[in-house]
Amino acid sequence: MVSVIIPVYNVQDYLARCVDAVLAQTYTDLEIILVDDGSLDVSGDMCDDYAAQDSRIRVIHKSNGGLSDARNAGLDVMRGDYVTFIDADDYVHPSFVEVLVDTIKKTKSQIAVCTWQELNDGCSPRKVKTHNARCKIYDQEEAINSVFYQRKLNHSACSRLFERRLFDSLRFPEGALYEDLAVIYPLLVQVDRVALVYAPMYYYMHREGSIITTMSLRRTHVLDHLEKLEQQVMDEAPQYLPAIRSRHLSACFNMLRLMPLDSAAWVPVKERCWNYIISMRNLCIIDKNVRIKNKIAILLSYLGSNILLKSIHKNG
């Protein structure tokens, strides 16, 4: 059985599309857990209506605690052999679960990942060929390096299927953004294989006003997660330090690109990012695995912080 965990918060305009897509899955041995995270609109009532229509749906109503808390609530009660997460404003291809289950079984992997399509509101996904889709197998080291060097695998918890046991002693950090980035490393160090299916079956929706499109100081949580992870691997698995540092450097460049430059509140963040860049740029510039766009930003950093900001800032 596959447990599908869907956190729900004020998504009345998107929830039906998401749940209907799960109910239409060609793989039917599902447990669908809708976690109403204290919605203020009619999303919670919609969850109850769906549960009354299909016995595979379970609803949890709880006070608002954020995305991590909602996912954790689902993990605490799930009964499936596998688990997948779908954000309520996204949706999936009808063969999403079936293809990932088959991939795990055929490749003897512990995680199966599909590619995704990024869509704007009102846009329809392009047709997907799921039969005999190309598949790449990563061992543990290849998977970790792919994620943190920002190659084909990303750090998202969505668009993938996990063996249940991987979450036996792991939960998402509550109250933090970039929660997926905080759990991807402890997930990957438990696996032997990760399978990537080149079929874009997860439909990620760009939505104005969502957390990821809103610039706030909470976005600096990405730096907190990476600092903590860098310290961890320094002691436990130093072979991954170059990849973690590359990802950390990328996060610093992205923060400088997006932050409001006229706000005093962001000055410490600017200094934090700049200090990390100058401490790591000499190592990263000679690392053949670092992305070209980051190397270009490193080269600009040698000309000074003002030149770098002027060159990369979105309003520059």
Q: What is the 3-state secondary structure (H, E, C) of 185-212?
A: HHHHCCCCEEEEEEEEEEEEEECCCCHH
CA 103/CA 112 separation, integer angstroms: 6
DSSP letters for 24-84: T-S---EEEEEEEES-SSSHHHHHHHHHHH-TTEEEEEE----HHHHHHHHHHH---SEEE
Q: Give the torsion through C-alpha atoms of 196, 202, 206, 211, to 10 deg.
A: -80
CA 265/CA 50 separation, integer angstroms: 44
Backbone angles phi, psi at 112, to 5 degrees: -120, 135
Band the pLDDT of 214: cuts 50, 70, 90.
low
pLDDT above 80: residue 111: yes
Candidate CATH numbers 3.40.50.300, 3.40.140.10, 3.30.70.580, 3.90.550.10; the one for domain 2-211: 3.90.550.10
pLDDT above 90: residue 216: no
The fraction of the chain above a pLDDT of 70, given in percent, is 97
The fraction of the chain above a pLDDT of 90, given in percent, is 91
Band the pLDDT of 48: cuts 50, 70, 90.
very high
Would the pTM of this model clear 0.85, i.e. be above it?
Answer: yes
Question: Exposed, middle or buried by CB within 10 Å (0-12, 13-18, 19+), for 315?
Answer: exposed
Question: Exposed, middle or buried by CB within 10 Å (0-12, 13-18, 19+), for 58?
Answer: middle
| Residue ranges per structural domain of the chain | 2-211, 215-312
For the segment 93-110, what is each residue's pLDDT rounded down to a tens digit?
A: 999 999 999 999 999 999
Distance of alpha carbon 250 from its chain centroid, rounded? 16
Band the pLDDT of 211: cuts 50, 70, 90.
low
Q: What is the mean pLDDT of residues 50-64?
A: 98
Query: Residue 35: which of 26, 44, 27 has the closest Cα?
Result: 44
Which letter does DSSP use for residue 164 in this model?
A: G
Give the pair of three-digit tokens for residue 135.
Answer: 């598949």
- pLDDT (0 to 100) of residue 207: 66
Contact in structure between 215 and 258 (CB atoms under 8 Å): yes
Q: Where are the alpha helices (DSSP H) in 111-240?
A: 140-148, 179-188, 221-236
Which residue type occupies 259? M
Which letter does DSSP use for residue 259 in this model?
A: S
**169 three-state secondary structure:** coil
- pLDDT (0 to 100) of residue 28: 97
Contact in structure between 269 and 169 (CB atoms under 8 Å): no
